[in-house]
Amino acid sequence: MKKRYALAVCVLGVASVVAVSAFMSGSANVAKAEEKAPAAKPSKAAVERSRKSVQTLDNIFKQTIVLVTDKYVHDEDDFAAGSAAVLLFKNISESGDNKVRLIDATGEPYDDENVAKDDFEREGLKRLKAGDQLYEQVVSKDGKHQLRTLTAVPVVMKKCVMCHEHYGDAKKGEPIGAISYTVPIE
């Protein structure tokens, strides 16, 4: 009896080791899948949250550029809203996860730095010039997702032409520039 009992315990013991190791390797697979998860597509809800953030930022920036130009810029020597925007965007981009740039869409930028710098921005400018108000793309880098967006900047007021003479040639509503955003999708 004792022998049989010992055998049963032994068999059970082996079985449980097998079961536990199967379970462990199962959970190891789960852990691996979780590690990989960030590289998969981001959820629609997360993309929508980032899209809303871009809309909010875009509205604030454009309202600010118009307000500054309207109230503070009176002649060509004043500190232009364009210069303010370029400086503000640089500081924002260097101090956090949101990257913003003001770029030219006319081929005649004030500053050579303010031009499309990669395929996304070049393609986006084409789309905006063809009439789209917005161009966006979800990109994944190092397992993290970002929403890239380009929004159109038209000649919003006559004063813009004071410094950017060639804006006078732009058709109504035609974009002369764009704001380029890269924001995290979380």
Contact set with ligand HEC (CB under 6 A)? 65-66, 69, 73, 76, 78, 80-83, 86, 102, 104, 109-111, 114, 153, 155-157, 159-160, 162-164, 177
Side-chain-facing half-sphere of 21: CA atoms under 13 Å: 5
Q: Helix or strand or coil: residue 172?
A: coil
Neighbours of 97 (CB within 10 A): 11
Output 58 or 104, the one with its CB closest to ligand HEC. 104
Identify whether the C-beta of residue 167 lies closer than 8 Å to the C-beta of residue 160. Answer: yes
Output 116 or 147, the one with its CB closest to ligand HEC. 116
Output 54 or 163, the one with its CB closest to ligand HEC. 163
Output 36 or 166, the one with its CB closest to ligand HEC. 166
In angstroms, give the least distance from the CB of 151 to ligand HEC: 11
Output 150 or 155, the one with its CB closest to ligand HEC. 155
Identify whether the C-beta of residue 150 lies closer than 8 Å to the C-beta of residue 124. Answer: yes
Q: Helix or strand or coil: residue 97?
A: coil
In angstroms, give the least distance from the CB of 91 to ligand HEC: 12
* Alpha-carbon dihedral 170, 132, 104, 78, rounded to 10 degrees: 70
Side-chain-facing half-sphere of 30: CA atoms under 13 Å: 6
In angstroms, give the least distance from the CB of 78 to ligand HEC: 5
Output 48 or 111, the one with its CB closest to ligand HEC. 111
In angstroms, give the least distance from the CB of 132 to ligand HEC: 17
CA–CA separation, 116 and 1 (whole Å): 85
In angstroms, give the least distance from the CB of 56 to ligand HEC: 20
In angstroms, give the least distance from the CB of 166 to ligand HEC: 10
Strand order in the sheet with 99-104: 99-104, 175-184, 144-154, 134-141
